[in-house]
């Protein structure tokens, strides 16, 4: 079923294995004309919803990232999969996937290597390539990042980014400047990610090079609330981590508001983007009746995440991750602050300066120096801390402090505690991050599957891609049926293209055959120029889904098609008008 | 001047060195929010012009390409630059660039390594880093492609593509299928390219990772003509290769039609895209008075090109290549046909089958075999060729042919020449390729420079980015001047975003300061809500370039701004209406 879908995708110009003339390479797929147009439309729809409508920014960073960044982010150590090699045929496999296939465990990715080794032995797992038993074979970590050398000397290591996130997060100091140091703000990237998958599978679903659309939403954990009202009533199907033990867990329906109020999804920014995600997937053709949000348990959580919900679509009975919505808290900014010289805090200026009183301790160093010698700085630190905490103690004759596990008494004659007024102009904040991260290819795949329909029209079976007009590869097909309307058809194509329509032109084959070609690639509207056209200067507009038809004057077509595309009219309504 | 422009670009969120927190890596640049929006708009404008309007297709291939493809294409052998290392400080330099800087030679890329070595010695070229003399140092070839290992075994070599071209061309067999084997057709890609530059320079102009927009136009060299009428009257400034010897060569103005008729630019498809390129660069903000097309001479031509014209823009007195328009003929398809098992010809079916007569020679092998032995096949080949060329010769008693440098007489008793009818259903064609290949980053750079303007408004100097509305990062800025219009401003922002405008919101600082911020990043229109707004429910629209203002009702703003953006009205006209 899956393979026949991939074969269909190849025939229709959706996607196909790249470099097949040379035998191809597993996990590298190319998009054909139809697939590229669809993918571009999905990307544009994502930008519209997650960037423009939210007032967020977009950036575009290199996909080659120097080693230091992934050292700081933890990817050099932690971004790997469990691998096992067959002693017979040398094929290498993802060990956790073998365990998932052989057991009831749905997610084995979080298991440690020894546990996976044990399961392979106890369940007698065999090599999927040759059938050899794998019990006793070592399970290792395999680094998923592609490495390359930068520069002519070859001594600078770089990695192809496995996600866009780090290439955004590492630029936080500058991005904060562009946001004029004002939280909350979001920065998105749409671009390539690379993972040297051990066992690529299912075409564009698990490939080695893919397109991601990620948003890093920066916010003050003690202050900023999301604009929850916009999605408060959106219902999301949730599968919380504590239900995953259930062999057949049911999802629970929550409105976004309830999920926040009941504390099921935290923080509120994460719940907000669950709602936005559900709305957006609906808009690009994913059937939201086959959509759930599954929470990661502690074992599955990535090293950087405090919480994570995967948006999963059911395709052919299998749940496929379309997006991961993670709460990264301040993990990344803290790591980059620690590993680099840059400042990953943000200075938030107060609306007006704030006055406060501060306790100050004046120390007679001349008197104390001889007694404490090079321990003096430590003693002064301890005294200052005490003064801050307990100024009244300095009203006694002596004050006692602990310095380096030793109790020290100091004569208060040499100490003066006083208060002074201080003006604060702002405070330092380390933002937290919520991240909706989409696999664009997987969204395309789910939308294709969910839009695939078969029905019977005029007694003939047809295949139809019922994609929403917003993402359909082609807006309109122009179909001249006779030679004497060819010029009119060409002029119409030019006019429609100037009016920003994506236009297909097809002048070969019977009308039924041409309709079928367009139905198969999801073209919402066909315009047929026929033998009447020279007389009435009009053409027939046909709707892909209902097959309803209406006669429209050629001169009115750009406007009529714009109204159809924007949902302001249906073909049936055009006929009546 | 160049450096101060890069500093300005960083401040405005256009582009900046990536990973600066970790010291950065030469040649890797990131785009900030303003730059990303501009670049996306340039990409969209390119797609509109070179794909949608032309009825071409777009594809999207992986950037990691297996070695076999670049072995076939000649890149493994030929895609390198001349490198020289300093014996003192070990810095590595592009040797041809050092020669260009030290001599009158404008393009040293085509020179061989020995010539470059000699010039470095005779001109006493010094290391730009430390001043050490480089005479006598070896000049080597340095492979510009980034290499990486694919798959868990690490034994499959892949390269990051240095251009999109090969990842399109290698898929020709499938692309031809999608085009239903009908020429001409064009396939574009917009995506990343990678070159491990020896000496990256000038920020996004010569970086190690960049965005390309390339079109491969496939056509029948014996048949298809481009739709030349569309651009026949466009004037292009040409610098043919034979004028380049002139120390101060002038360009010559040609219309596209003249360039074709005079044979200055060949083939006609190349001239066609010169015209389209000139129109398009004008549309995205490149000053076409500072644009020329320079022809490569034989030394400069890439190994795959038969002819090439570079579209060059003058920026700060330097000519920068924005696009290369190459005639690749059938170089690539022939190479892939030779190196792979796939068919890189196209079978063109005739409208109706064609009958023709073919000469057939029947040979009495039984009679001739004993005489010629294993030379018989060669003799038969020679006889068949003669029969095809000169059937009358077989009417004599003997016929004479040359076989392996020996003259042979054959008795015609054993030979019969006859004709038979053959039906041809079509013919095999190997398409030729013309390729307009754009460096998107360089187009962005030239448009930014050419749009940079300084003038005086109300006695105050201002900086302004006079970008065309089609590519400006932001369509409109909404500027509420008082707290009592904040809600109206927010609602207006939401409405404009739903109507597909890119909207900036700025509620801080004086109105003059806010206008300056928007002028600096090229926002064509500002909408100011002021103290009058609560009374008249209207706002002031201001034009970036003329600073003309008009009062427009809030309810009418989406439509008024759409008319401004689409060039259907000016702000001055809004005021009068």
Per-residue pLDDT of chain B (577 residues; tens, 9 = 90+): 567 889 999 999 999 999 999 999 999 999 999 999 999 999 999 999 999 999 999 999 999 999 999 999 999 988 889 999 999 998 899 999 999 999 988 888 888 999 999 999 999 999 999 999 999 999 999 999 999 999 988 889 999 999 999 999 999 999 999 999 999 999 999 999 999 999 998 999 999 999 999 999 999 998 889 999 999 999 999 999 987 667 677 899 999 999 999 999 999 999 999 999 999 999 999 999 999 999 998 888 888 899 999 999 999 999 999 999 999 999 999 999 999 989 999 988 888 999 988 888 888 878 888 888 888 888 888 888 888 888 888 888 888 888 888 888 888 888 888 888 999 998 899 999 999 999 999 999 999 999 999 999 888 889 999 999 999 999 999 999 999 999 999 999 999 999 999 999 999 999 999 999 999 999 999 999 999 999 999 999 999 999 999 999 999 999 999 999 989 999 999 887 6
Cβ neighbourhood burial of A366 (10 Å; 0-12, 13-18, 19+): exposed
Q: Report how far apart the first and last C-alpha atoms of chain A are (Å, whole number).
A: 44
pLDDT at A566 exceeding the cut of 70: yes
Helices (H) and strands (E) in chain B, counts: 19, 28
Tens of pLDDT along A129-159? 999 999 999 999 999 999 999 998 888 999 9
Q: Collapsing DSSP states into helix, strand and coil, what is residue A186?
A: strand
What is B170-192 written as a DSSP string? TTHHHHHHHTTT-SSEEEEEEEE
> With an 8 Å Cβ cutoff, is B196 touching chain A?
yes
Indicate yes or no: CB of B52 within 8 angstroms of CB of A502. Answer: yes
Q: Nearest CA to CA, how far is B29 from chain A (Å)?
A: 7
Q: Which among A145, A143, A127 is positioned nearest to A135, based on CA atoms?
A: A127
pLDDT band at A186; cut points 50, 70, 90 = very high
Strands A476-480 and A503-505: parallel
Q: Collapsing DSSP states into helix, strand and coil, what is residue A163?
A: coil
pLDDT band at A366; cut points 50, 70, 90 = confident
- Residue pair B434/B217 in contact (Cβ under 8 Å)? The answer is yes
Q: Which among A324, A26, A374, A381 is positioned nearest to A165, based on CA atoms?
A: A324
What is A408-422 written as a DSSP string? EEEEGGGEEEEEEEE
pTM for this one? 0.90
Q: Which among A256, A57, A269 is positioned nearest to A176, based on CA atoms?
A: A57
A chain contacts of residue B342, beta-carbon cutoff 8 Å? 20-21
| pLDDT number for residue A340 | 96
What does the block give as tokens for A385?
A: 């801390």
> With an 8 Å Cβ cutoff, is B69 touching chain A?
yes
Indicate yes or no: CB of B152 within 8 angstroms of CB of A36. Answer: no
> With an 8 Å Cβ cutoff, is B505 touching chain A?
yes
Q: Pick the residue with more confidence: A304 or B27?
A: B27
ipTM of the complex: 0.89
Indicate yes or no: CB of B498 within 8 angstroms of CB of A174. Answer: no
- Residue pair A106/A244 in contact (Cβ under 8 Å)? The answer is yes
pLDDT band at A244; cut points 50, 70, 90 = low
Q: Which of A10, A14, A25, A167 to mutate to test the interface with B (most CBs of B within 10 A)?
A: A25
Output the CA torsion A66→A69→A73→A74 (10° steps): 50
| Distance, CA of B204 to CA of B197 (rounded, Å) | 12
| Distance, CA of B566 to CA of B21 (rounded, Å) | 42
Q: Collapsing DSSP states into helix, strand and coil, what is residue B16?
A: strand
- Residue pair A93/A83 in contact (Cβ under 8 Å)? The answer is yes
Q: Name residues whose C-beta falls within 8 Å of residue B570's C-beta, 6 or more positions apart in sequence.
A: B543, B546, B548, B564
| Distance, CA of B115 to CA of B96 (rounded, Å) | 10
- Residue pair B60/B191 in contact (Cβ under 8 Å)? The answer is yes
- C-alpha distances in Å from residue B251, one per residue of A207, B243, B293: 49, 9, 8
| Distance, CA of B468 to CA of B42 (rounded, Å) | 11
Q: Nearest CA to CA, how far is B508 from chain A (Å)?
A: 10
| pLDDT number for residue B244 | 66
- Residue pair A133/A126 in contact (Cβ under 8 Å)? The answer is yes
| Distance, CA of B100 to CA of B97 (rounded, Å) | 5
| Distance, CA of B143 to CA of B529 (rounded, Å) | 58
| pLDDT number for residue B250 | 87
| Distance, CA of B324 to CA of B312 (rounded, Å) | 9
| Distance, CA of A465 to CA of A473 (rounded, Å) | 11
Residues facing A325 on adjacent strands: A309, A436
Q: Which of A7, A10, A22 to mutate to test the interface with B (most CBs of B within 10 A)?
A: A22
- C-alpha distances in Å from residue A1, one per residue of A98, A128, A202, A317, A449: 21, 20, 11, 11, 11
Q: Which of B12, B29, B30, B568 to mutate to test the interface with A (most CBs of A within 10 A)?
A: B30
Q: Which among A518, A543, A527 is positioned nearest to A464, based on CA atoms?
A: A518
Tens of pLDDT along A94-105? 999 999 999 988
Instruction: Find the angle CA(B303)-CA(B348)-CA(A496) to the nearest 5 degrees.
Output: 85
Cβ neighbourhood burial of A55 (10 Å; 0-12, 13-18, 19+): middle
| Distance, CA of A485 to CA of A531 (rounded, Å) | 8
Tokens 């190849």 sit at which residue?
A10
Indicate yes or no: CB of B22 within 8 angstroms of CB of A340. Answer: yes
Q: How far does CA A80 lie from the centroid of its chain?
A: 19
| Distance, CA of B67 to CA of B76 (rounded, Å) | 8
Indicate yes or no: CB of B32 within 8 angstroms of CB of A160. Answer: no
Q: Which secondary-structure segment (H or E) carries B492? A: helix B486-498
- Residue pair B379/B370 in contact (Cβ under 8 Å)? The answer is no
Share of chain A above pLDDT 90, in %: 76
| Distance, CA of A340 to CA of A359 (rounded, Å) | 34
Residues, chain A: 577
- Residue pair A157/A147 in contact (Cβ under 8 Å)? The answer is yes
| Distance, CA of A245 to CA of A223 (rounded, Å) | 35
Count CA atoms closer than 13 A to B134's CA, side-chain side.
30
> With an 8 Å Cβ cutoff, is B39 touching chain A?
yes
> With an 8 Å Cβ cutoff, is B66 touching chain A?
yes
A chain contacts of residue B146, beta-carbon cutoff 8 Å? 64, 148-150
List phi, psi (to 5°) of A241: -60, -35
A chain contacts of residue B198, beta-carbon cutoff 8 Å? 152
Tens of pLDDT along A20-47? 999 999 999 999 999 999 999 999 999 9
Tens of pLDDT along A216-239? 999 999 888 999 999 999 999 999
Tokens 């240095």 sit at which residue?
B162
Tokens 């996976």 sit at which residue?
A116
What does the block give as tokens for B277?
A: 């390129």
What does the block give as tokens for B182?
A: 């009908």
Interface of A with B in 327-366 (CB under 8 A): 336, 339-342
The count of CB pairs under 8 A between chains A and B is 222
Q: How far does CA B159 lie from the centroid of its chain?
A: 20
> Which of A33, A47, A156 shows the shortest C-beta gap to B178?
A33
| Distance, CA of A331 to CA of A305 (rounded, Å) | 8
Indicate yes or no: CB of B153 within 8 angstroms of CB of A60. Answer: no
| Distance, CA of B472 to CA of A6 (rounded, Å) | 40
> With an 8 Å Cβ cutoff, is B470 touching chain A?
no
- Chain A residue nearest residue B497, CA to CA: A53
pLDDT at A266 exceeding the cut of 70: yes
> Any idea what DSSP says for residue A224?
P
- Residue pair B59/B157 in contact (Cβ under 8 Å)? The answer is no
| Distance, CA of A208 to CA of A201 (rounded, Å) | 10
Interface of B with A in 77-116 (CB under 8 A): 83, 90, 92
> With an 8 Å Cβ cutoff, is B534 touching chain A?
no
């Amino acid at each position: 079923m899956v393979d026949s879908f991939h074969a269909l995708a190849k025939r229709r110009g959706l996607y196909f294995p790249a470099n097949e003339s040379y035998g191809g390479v597993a996990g590298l797929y190319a998009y054909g004309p139809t697939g590229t147009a669809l993918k571009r439309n999905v990307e544009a729809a994502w930008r519209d919803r997650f960037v423009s409508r939210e007032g967020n920014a977009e950036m575009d960073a290199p996909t080659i990232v120097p080693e230091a960044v992934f050292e700081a982010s933890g990817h050099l150590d932690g971004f790997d999969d469990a691998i096992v090699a067959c002693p017979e045929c040398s094929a290498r496999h993802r060990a956790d996937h073998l365990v998932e296939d052989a057991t009831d465990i749905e997610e084995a990715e979080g298991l440690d290597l020894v546990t996976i080794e044990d399961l392979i032995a106890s369940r007698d797992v065999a090599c999927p390539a040759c059938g050899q038993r794998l019990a006793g074979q070592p399970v290792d970590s395999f680094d998923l990042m592609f490495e390359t050398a930068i520069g002519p000397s070859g001594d600078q290591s770089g990695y192809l980014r496995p996600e866009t996130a780090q290439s955004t997060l590492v630029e936080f100091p500058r991005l904060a400047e562009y946001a004029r140091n004002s939280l909350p703000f979001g920065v998105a990237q749409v671009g390539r990610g690379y993972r040297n998958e051990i066992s690529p599978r299912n075409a564009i679903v698990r490939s080695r090079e893919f397109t991601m659309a990620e948003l890093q939403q920066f916010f003050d954990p003690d202050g900023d609330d999301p604009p929850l009202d916009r999605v408060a009533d959106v219902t999301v199907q949730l599968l919380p981590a504590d239900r995953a033990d259930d062999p057949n867990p049911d999802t629970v329906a929550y409105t976004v508001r309830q999920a926040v109020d009941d504390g099921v999804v935290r923080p509120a920014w994460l719940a907000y983007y669950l709602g936005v995600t559900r709305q957006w997937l609906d808009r690009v053709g994913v059937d939201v009746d086959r959509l759930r949000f599954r929470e990661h348990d502690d074992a599955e959580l990535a090293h950087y995440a405090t919480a994570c919900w995967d948006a999963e679509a059911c395709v052919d009975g299998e749940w496929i991750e379309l997006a991961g919505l993670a709460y990264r808290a301040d993990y990344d900014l803290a790591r980059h602050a620690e590993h680099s010289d840059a400042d990953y805090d943000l200075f938030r200026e107060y609306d007006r300066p704030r006055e406060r009183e501060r306790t100050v301790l004046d120390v007679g160093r001349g008197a104390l120096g001889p007694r404490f010698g090079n321990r003096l700085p430590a003693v002064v630190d301890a005294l200052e801390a005490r003064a801050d905490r307990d100024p009244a103690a300095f009203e006694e004759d002596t004050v006692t402090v602990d310095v380096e596990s030793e109790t020290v008494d100091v004569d208060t004659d040499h100490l003066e505690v006083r208060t002074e007024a201080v003006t604060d102009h702002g405070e330092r904040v380390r933002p937290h991050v919520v991240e909706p991260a989409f696999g664009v290819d997987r969204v395309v795949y789910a939308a294709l599957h969910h839009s695939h329909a078969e029905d019977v029209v005029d007694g003939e079976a047809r295949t139809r891609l019922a994609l929403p007009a917003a993402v359909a590869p082609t807006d309109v097909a122009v179909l001249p049926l006779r030679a004497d309307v060819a010029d009119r058809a060409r002029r119409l194509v030019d006019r429609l293209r100037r009016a920003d329509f994506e236009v297909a032109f097809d002048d070969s084959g019977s009308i039924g055959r041409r309709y079928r070609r367009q139905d198969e690639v999801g073209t919402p509207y066909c315009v047929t120029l026929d033998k009447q056209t020279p007389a009435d200067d009009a053409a027939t507009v046909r709707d892909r889904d209902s097959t309803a038809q209406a006669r429209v004057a050629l001169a009115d077509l750009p406007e009529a098609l714009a109204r159809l595309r924007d949902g302001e009219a249906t073909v049936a309504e055009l006929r009546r008008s």
